Amino acid sequence: MIASAQYRFAPRSLAIEGAPLGRLLVLAIFAGWTLFSVFVYSRYSMLGDAQAYLEGGYGESSFTQGRTLLITRIAGGLRSVLGMDVLVHLAFSMFAAAGVCYLASGADLRGRQRWPLLLILLNPNFGVWASVTGRESLFVGMMGFFMGAVLGHYRRRRGAGAMLLAALAVAGMVYLRAPFGLGAALFFVVYLMFAWGPRLRLSVGVRALFFILLAALTLYVTWPQIDAFIGEEVLPQARSYFTVTSATTRTWVDLRDTGDLLANVWWMAPLALVGPTPMEVLSRPIMLPFFAAGLIVLGLLLRAAYTALFKLHEPPRAVVLLGWLPATVMMLVAYTPFGIYNPGSGIRYASCFLLFLILPLLLPSARFATIGQGRAGDAVHGGMAEGVR
C-alpha cells in the first residue's frame, strides 16, 4: 500500500574512499587521443569529416546543413589563428575534455567509481572521434556539461544555474545530432518533473504506468510523422552515407522501412554498438581493437541496465528507470541504422552518447555525497521518494 514515510538509503559510509578523478588526467587522455588519431589512426583510416571541416570541404550550398557550416567556420577560424591542423584538433578535444572534467566534478567520482568513466575515456571507439574536429567532440563536451550539471544539482539540491547550463547543453546537442539530443532532452524533462514537480506519494510502479500511458498516447498521436521521418529521412540517409566499395560496409543489410528496423532492432542494436563481427575482424585485422572496445561498451551498458533495474534505491531509481532507460532506448534505435550498415563509420556516431550509457554507474558516488551532507534518503525533490514500503 502507499506509505507516507520516505525511503531511506541503507546505512553506508559517509564518504567514498579514494582519490578523485583528476582534471590533468582527463586532459592528458584527450590530448593523447588527439595525437594518436592525427598521427597514427589517420594512416590506416581516413579522418574524412574532420579534414573536410578544416579544409572547407563542405561548401556553402542549399544542400549544406547549418550546423555543418557552423563547424566548418569554427574550424576555419581556429586554423587561421592557430596555424596548424593538430592544434585545431586539440582545441576541439579540449572542449570535450572540459565537459568530461565538469562531469567528473559534478558526480564527485572517487576510487572505484572512476572506472566506468575511465573505461569509456580509454576506449578507442570513444577517444578517436571525441578528440578531433567535428560534431562528435562538440557533442561529447555538451554531454559532459549536461551530465555534470544534472549530477551536481542532484548532489547539492540547489543551483538554478546548473539547470540553465543543462538546458543549454541539451539545446546544443539537439542542434548537432537531433536523435541523440532528444534522448538527453527526454531524460532532462523526467529529471525536472521529479526535482521541481509536485510531491506525489506514488510508487515507482504507479509512476511507470503513468509514463507508459503518456508515452503510448504521444506515440499514437505522432506515429505518422515518426514513421515518415524514419522511412523517408533516416533509413535513406543511413544507406547513402556508405558506399558499397567501403571495406566495412555491410551490403547484406537492407532496412526498407520502419517495420524492418523495429522488427530487427533487438539484434541489430547490440551488433551496431559492438561494431565489427569476429568474421569481419578476420578479414580486416585493423578492426580488432574496435571489436574489443565494442564488447567493453556493451558490457558497460548491460552493467548499467542491471544497476538501474536491481541495484539502485530511491530516489535515483525512479529517475533512472523512467528517464535514463527510455532515453537510452531512443538513442540506440536512432543509432542502429548507421551502426548496422557500416560498423567502421558507425563507431563515430556512437561516440556521441557513450558517456550517457554509464550514467547509472556514476550515481552511487552522488548518493554517498548526499548522505555526507546529512540528507540521507532525501529525494531529488523533498518527498519525491515516497512510495510503497
The C-alpha atoms of residue 191 and residue 193 are separated, in whole angstroms, by 5
Does residue 65 lie in a domain region?
A: no
Average pLDDT, the chain: 82
pLDDT digits 0-9 by tens, 6-24: 333 333 333 456 777 889 9
- In which band, very low, low, confident or very high, does the pLDDT at 181 lie, cut at 50, 70 and 90? very high
Q: What pLDDT does 42 receive?
A: 87
Q: In the predicted model, is pLDDT for residue 277 greater than 70? A: yes
Contact 38, 85 (CB under 8 A): yes
Residues 241-267 have a mean pLDDT of 79
Range of the domain at 158: 2-20+134-388
Q: What pLDDT does 8 receive?
A: 32
Does residue 125 lie in a domain region?
A: no
Residues 170-193 have a mean pLDDT of 94
Q: Which residues pair with 386 in a beta bridge?
A: 6
- In which band, very low, low, confident or very high, does the pLDDT at 198 lie, cut at 50, 70 and 90? low
- In which band, very low, low, confident or very high, does the pLDDT at 39 lie, cut at 50, 70 and 90? very high
Q: How many folded domains does the chain comprise? A: 1
Better pLDDT: 186 or 204: 186
Does residue 51 lie in a domain region?
A: no
The C-alpha atoms of residue 310 and residue 315 are separated, in whole angstroms, by 13
Does residue 371 lie in a domain region?
A: yes
Does residue 33 lie in a domain region?
A: no
Phi, psi of 120 (to 5 degrees): -75, -45
**Can you give the pTM of this predicted structure?**
0.85
pLDDT digits 0-9 by tens, 43-57: 888 787 888 888 877
Better pLDDT: 98 or 322: 98
Residues 331-335 have a mean pLDDT of 94
Q: What pLDDT does 17 receive?
A: 63
Does residue 369 lie in a domain region?
A: yes
Does residue 12 lie in a domain region?
A: yes
Q: What pLDDT does 113 receive?
A: 86
Does residue 281 lie in a domain region?
A: yes
